[in-house]
Amino acid sequence: MDIVYPYKLSGTGEELRYSLRSLKNLPHDEVWIVGDKPPWVQNVNYIRVPQNGPSKWANSRKNILTACEHPDISDDFILFNDDFFVMEEIQYVPTLHRGLITEVVDNFKRRNVNSKYVAGLVETAEMLRWAGVPDPMYAYNLHIPMVINKAKMLECFDYLKALSLPHVPYCFHLRSYYGNFWQIGGTQAKDVKISNNRSPVPPGPFLSTNNSSFRTNRVFQDRLTKKLNKRSIYERG
């Protein structure tokens, strides 16, 4: 399978550099970057898409739609983000979810998290109900790679368009929409996002960060630089 990164350039793109290095731990075919491309990246396929949407989620959706419409990308591909890292050798990407959407939302609210991200997950579940998707619905918003089928994702986009909604929620959870629309199932797992410089670094093959924790979490930085210290074929000098 090919690997696809929907990407908007941020700084020098160091997260992407290490994510590309981590691909040595996952068998794959071509690598595609859709959106922006840092000047140091090489040996990838690139589709330029202006990143001028109203939000990062809108830009990401546009990039994913463009990838699904491209005839040269494999029918099944692995969807990555630039801050996803494969820290151990694996043979395939498992299908994982975070648990029931209702339980995930309740957990956020118990921690007094009432962000656009949480509201978007609630709205995404409501849109799935409009599409006739039955419970249980799972949250696929784990910060790990996910296998996507182009034709199935395009059908999701077509269905959303056919709903003639006044708008798509600001933070629409496309992965959760896709996973539940096609009822892909999977196994429940804990998220691997490292949210700040004090967050523990979870074990296992996957890690993810944000712009701050990538630079300030010393345990993560130590593991990253030890595991991924060699330049990959995807980067110049």
pLDDT tens digits in sequence order for the chain, 237 residues long: 999 999 999 889 999 999 999 999 999 999 999 999 999 999 999 999 999 988 888 899 999 999 999 999 999 999 999 999 999 999 999 999 999 999 999 998 888 776 888 888 998 999 899 889 999 999 999 999 999 999 999 999 998 877 655 556 667 899 999 999 999 999 999 999 999 999 999 999 999 999 899 999 999 999 999 999 999 999 997
Q: Note the pLDDT of residue 162.
A: 73
Alpha carbons within 13 angstroms on the beta-carbon side of residue 132 total 3
pTM equals 0.94
Q: Note the pLDDT of residue 164.
A: 57
Exposure b/e, 100-136, CB count within 10 A at least 16 = b:
bbeebbeebeeeeeeeeebebbebbbebbeeeeeeee
Q: What is the DSSP letter of 231?
A: P
Tokens 């820290």 locate to 87
Q: Note the pLDDT of residue 168.
A: 63
Q: Note the pLDDT of residue 11.
A: 87
- Kindly list the structural domains of the chain, giving each domain's residue range(s) and its CATH number in brackets, ordered by start: 2-227 (3.90.550.10)
DSSP labels, 129-193: HHTTPPSP-B----SS-EEEEHHHHHHHHHHHHHTT-S---TT--HHHHHHHHTT---EE----E
Please count the other Cβ atoms lying within 10 Å of the Cβ belonging to residue 8: 15
